[in-house]
Structure 1
Amino acid sequence: MKKLAARDWEDMLQVALPIFEGLLDEPYNTVVLDLLFTLATWHALAKLRMHTDSTLSVFEATTSNLGTLLRGFATKVCNAFVTRELPSEEAARGRRTAAKATQSQKKGAGRWKKVPHGGNPETSSGSPGQSPAVSHLKKFSLTTYKTHALGDYPAMIRMFGTTDSYSTQTGELEHRRVKRFYGRTNKQNFTRQITKQHMREEVIRRVKKRVEKKAQEAAKASMGESQNPQRHLSSSSTSEQSVLPQSSGIPASLTFEDSDPLPYTPPDKHYHISQSNRFHKDVTDWLSSNNNDPALKDFVPRLKDHLLARLSGDEYDGDEREYTNAERRALILVDNRIYQHKVIRINHTSYDLRRAQDSLNPRTHADIMVASQEDQGGWNSHPYWYARIVGIFHAYVQHVGPSSKDDSKEPQRLEFLWVRWFGRDLTAPGGFQTRRLHRIGFVDVDEPEQFAFGFLDPDLICRGVHVIPAFAHGKTSELLGPSVVRSVSDNDEDWVFYYVNIFADRDMFMRYLGGGVGHRVVQFILDRVASVVTAEEEQGEQVAEESDSEVQPLNIPEDEQALIEEDGDDKEEAADETGDEVDDAECDYGYDGARSNDDSEGGEDEDGEEFGEEDLGPEDGEDEIREDEDFEGMEGFAPL
């Protein structure tokens, strides 16, 4: 916590809510959490790279609400606590006082030739150590320029554009780059040495570009070969395949040491999984080795139900349909095998029409979000479902019998994810209206009417999601017994609840606020828009009254609401004209992907790292975080 830059404070603000939950007693806890949520909302809106009139209206209302909450925080919380300097701050102040006293002594010695009665009047106050140090009170102050300037952001964005176009962060990041170059010199004639380093970097960049181009061509060629899955079956020699050891407690995911490289991912494909057949499991042997694992209960029947639904072209509904045993026997897993993979890449379009990519793996980046299949008109509806990837697989299947739609009778490659589902905690509603993060938790494996585990078509993933443990609620082992789906560091326990971090990045924030131009559904989710006070409602109120008043829900201006309703009417009219129902699901524009029942791969292609898990670096096919100009260019503005 020393020498933190602005970007560090930004990162801490994004994850602060679960940390501060429960630290203070009520009513202070509620005031602090409300303020943190509103600060994070304001910060996310301030750093959007694309604004519309609607988002600016919300930004203006959020700014007004932030001022009310800050004054309430100063009145209700700060006045209730006595806060003093930290020991480090007290020591630093003592050093400054000592330095000033020393300078005063030197100046006084030059001006005075005689010291009256053994004391210099300018230094008689004493040197450090003559009086005991007393820690000073530290109070929260609203009378600072930074606080005053918060109200100017919406107007400045309307006048000059989004803040990323004139932010000093670009220059700051470039300055860090030059300082890294300077650290590699001998500090003499460093300008020439820095220039040489830059030239070498440019040469390496060009070489890398050529290598990536060749990798792209090879990936396209391999995709063409993947159209014939039988070729992969016959050409995979025994030496290229690795049968995992059949010992007790065989995990569902590959270890870090297992090599399963993932080549270049074409940007027009929604997802990408390796074509390798190297790692496979015999389903019967694997289930026998883990016969007491509750996570593997009904593994094969549920897997076949999922695959049959995809082969039949049924719309995904959470795999609620159960097929008969006869229908399941008509689906054959070739060689009774499923093949494992380490990484899956997901391409998606961000809110500002930019290409974005998530690299997911069961070890460190396993949490995902998919479009909810629930009716969005209900009081407790939510636009997304959440899951944790347990394993990434593909299988070669043959569908025989009268219900088969495959005339060729050739094996088809189907890729699927084995996931552990999260459920929403309906007792703690989240969103902009309640000013809380959405709270979720793993589904109880003993719950009869809900599936704690299931299978998912990778094409349905919207993107990765950042979930934060709800530390205030602790851990439990009641949701699932000892199982191979957990890492060793979990000690057979789960956090009781998690929070969905909607402030992880700008794109994630806009998926919950609504109105993202690059998202499929360009409309506001009215019952989830920020609960903030509009500027009209705040006029005429006194500061003292605002500090004690309750914050009112957001009233969207009538003209904005009319535009939103018109968008919905236009969409319905378009659906009537085409005869097709317009999909309201939060899918990504531009990445249609192949359907699951095609023979092809179906598409080419951070935080949920487990606590206590050793950081071994990126998985195969994942890009390592580099401290160079390319990384800074891509990620310099990514943190909110």
Structure 2
Amino acid sequence: MGDYVTTIKLFGTTDSFTTQIGELAHRALKVFYPLTSKIDTPGQLAKHERRRRVLRRVAENFLPRLKDHILYRLRGLDVSFCDHSFTDAERNSVIIPDNTIYVVQTMQVHYTTYDLRREYDTINPRTHGDVMVLSGEIAPSHPYWYARVLGVFHMEVWLNTGGRPMKWHLEVLWVRWLATLRNYKSGINHARLPKTAFVEESDPDAFGFLDPGQVIRGAHLIPAFASGRGVNSLRYGKSLARPGGELDDWEEHYVGIFVDRDMFIRYTHFGVGHSAMVRKIVWDCSESVPWTNAMDISNDEDADHELVDDGNGFDGYDDEQEDSDEECDDDGESDDSVGNDEGEDDGEDDGEDEFDYVSF
């Protein structure tokens, strides 16, 4: 063993000149050979090897992040925050048979419209992959987060927690996140569309995974042509993050809040059927300006109503107005009476006042 020290000083460690490295590389080429067309084999083998090298760099964070997302969902944790870090032992408890993930080309997001009808948006990573989800921040400056879907996957997952392994079937979205610009005032109060930009690739949260159930609707992102194209968020060249084969990205995007009636109503606190939490978040994200300036109130007498929070959720009117409405109901006739011309006229007047209350 004494001659090993001298040999290492002259030629380096034994693994630097062993023939095992070349033999293992030869095995890799044999694996790629069935994938070629047997025509121009060396060029095709080099292309497959180059692809594997690129995918290896991408997969360094892909699989650990995917298992973290799966653990969040299977353990019932809040996937909006994702502030918990899992150990390698916990990640190893997630078993994906043969590491097989199935790719789907499209996904449909169903939602309820303003007139209580069911509609859906089709999400296609190649043509229309922009989506919006509810913000997971505690005190958000904007009510929604935006992302571009890069892939729609479904898979079978086994979770081994020490007892009998359990089988699950999960659907997952692989997304590239966008962030709203800081110090940029937008919304109805400022008559400016919200503006977003891709998160830089150096940020560990630039890419991530989403539960399809978190998606509210497909988003309409309009490129800000004045900002131009660039590579500030992602290096120049083709990438899986650019499904269209483009070499760079638009630096900034506007969020189209006027795509349709239902999209616009999500950026106001007047959303019919929206939960009190969502309406509260939208209201808190807007600056504390008089209500009359927010929606262009046309009836000055009705503009005296104030928006309040009774502690149980966002109501939209104060208690005095509710009490007055109850007194009006008690003074009027019962609902069983029909054929009263005065009652019909009053109903028409109330309907007219309701539509005069807010003008869009």
Code of the residue aligned with 2:200 in structure 1: it is: D
Q: Which one of the candidate residues 303, 318, 339 is aligned to 1:557?
A: 303
Counterpart of 2:150 in structure 1 is 390
Is contact 1:389-1:417 (8 Å) kept?
yes
Alpha carbons of 1:360 and 1:331: their partners in 2 closer, same or farther (altered >3 Å)? same
Q: Deviation at 1:321? A: 1.9
Alpha carbons of 1:287 and 1:440: their partners in 2 closer, same or farther (altered >3 Å)? farther
SS at match of 2:67: helix
Q: Percent same amino acid at aligned positions? A: 38
Distance 2:46 2:119 in 1: 40
Distance 2:202 2:121 in 1: 32
Is contact 1:439-1:499 (8 Å) kept?
yes
> For 1:3-42, what aligned pairs fall within 5 Å after superposition?
none
Code of the residue aligned with 1:479 in structure 2: it is: S
The Cα offsets for residues 231-260 of structure 1, whole Å up to 9 and x where unpaired, read as: xxxxxxxxxxxx9x999999xxxxxxxxxx
Q: Deviation at 1:289? A: 4.9
> For 1:77-116, what aligned pairs fall within 5 Å after superposition?
none
Distance 1:462 1:438 in 2: 17
Is contact 2:279-2:314 (8 Å) kept?
no
Distance 1:571 1:288 in 2: 53
Alpha carbons of 1:349 and 1:532: their partners in 2 closer, same or farther (altered >3 Å)? closer
Between structures 1 and 2, the one with greater strand share:
2
Code of the residue aligned with 2:209 in structure 1: it is: F
Distance 1:248 1:343 in 2: 32
Distance 1:286 1:330 in 2: 29
SS at match of 1:565: coil
Q: Deviation at 1:518? A: 2.9
* 2:222 aligned with 1:479: no
Alpha carbons of 1:399 and 1:441: their partners in 2 closer, same or farther (altered >3 Å)? same
* 2:248 aligned with 1:493: yes
Counterpart of 1:466 in structure 2 is 220
SS at match of 2:98: helix
Between structures 1 and 2, the one with greater helix share:
1
Counterpart of 2:207 in structure 1 is 453
Is contact 1:469-1:495 (8 Å) kept?
yes
> For 1:38-49, what aligned pairs fall within 5 Å after superposition?
none
Is contact 2:308-2:314 (8 Å) kept?
no
Distance 2:46 2:192 in 1: 42
Larger mean CA deviation between 419-428 and 480-489 belongs to 480-489
Alpha carbons of 1:442 and 1:249: their partners in 2 closer, same or farther (altered >3 Å)? farther
Q: Deviation at 1:493? A: 0.5
* 2:42 aligned with 1:290: no
Q: Deviation at 1:299? A: 0.8
SS at match of 1:290: helix
Q: Deviation at 1:399? A: 1.1
The Cα offsets for residues 576-626 of structure 1, whole Å up to 9 and x where unpaired, read as: xxxxxxxxxxxxxxxxxxxxxxxxxxxxxxxxxxxxxxxxxxxxxxxxxxx
Is contact 2:197-2:251 (8 Å) kept?
yes
Q: Deviation at 1:434? A: 1.5
The Cα offsets for residues 364-396 of structure 1, whole Å up to 9 and x where unpaired, read as: 1101011111124x6xx2211110100000111
Distance 2:227 2:45 in 1: 35
> For 1:211-360, what aligned pairs fall within 5 Å after superposition?
288-293=53-58, 296-360=59-123
Distance 2:102 2:243 in 1: 20
Counterpart of 1:399 in structure 2 is 159
Alpha carbons of 1:249 and 1:342: their partners in 2 closer, same or farther (altered >3 Å)? farther
Alpha carbons of 1:249 and 1:302: their partners in 2 closer, same or farther (altered >3 Å)? farther
> For 1:427-446, what aligned pairs fall within 5 Å after superposition?
427-446=183-202
> Greater relative contact order (Cα 8 A, min sep 6): structure 1 or 2?
1
Alpha carbons of 1:510 and 1:394: their partners in 2 closer, same or farther (altered >3 Å)? same
Is contact 1:351-1:507 (8 Å) kept?
yes
CA RMSD of aligned residues (A): 3.3
* 2:247 aligned with 1:504: no
SS at match of 1:386: strand
Code of the residue aligned with 1:382 in structure 2: it is: H
SS at match of 1:472: helix
Is contact 1:349-1:519 (8 Å) kept?
no
Alpha carbons of 1:247 and 1:323: their partners in 2 closer, same or farther (altered >3 Å)? farther
Q: Deviation at 1:332? A: 0.9
SS at match of 1:411: strand
Code of the residue aligned with 1:485 in structure 2: it is: A
Distance 1:533 1:440 in 2: 26
Distance 1:313 1:535 in 2: 47
* Runs of 5+ consecutive residues of structure 1 not aligned to the other structure: 1-242, 251-284, 538-554, 574-639
Code of the residue aligned with 2:143 in structure 1: it is: P
Distance 1:343 1:434 in 2: 36
The Cα offsets for residues 284-306 of structure 1, whole Å up to 9 and x where unpaired, read as: x986552345xx55111111100
Distance 2:151 2:173 in 1: 6
Counterpart of 1:514 in structure 2 is 269
Q: Deviation at 1:557? A: 2.8
Q: Deviation at 1:311? A: 0.8
SS at match of 1:347: strand
Code of the residue aligned with 2:55 in structure 1: it is: N
SS at match of 1:435: coil
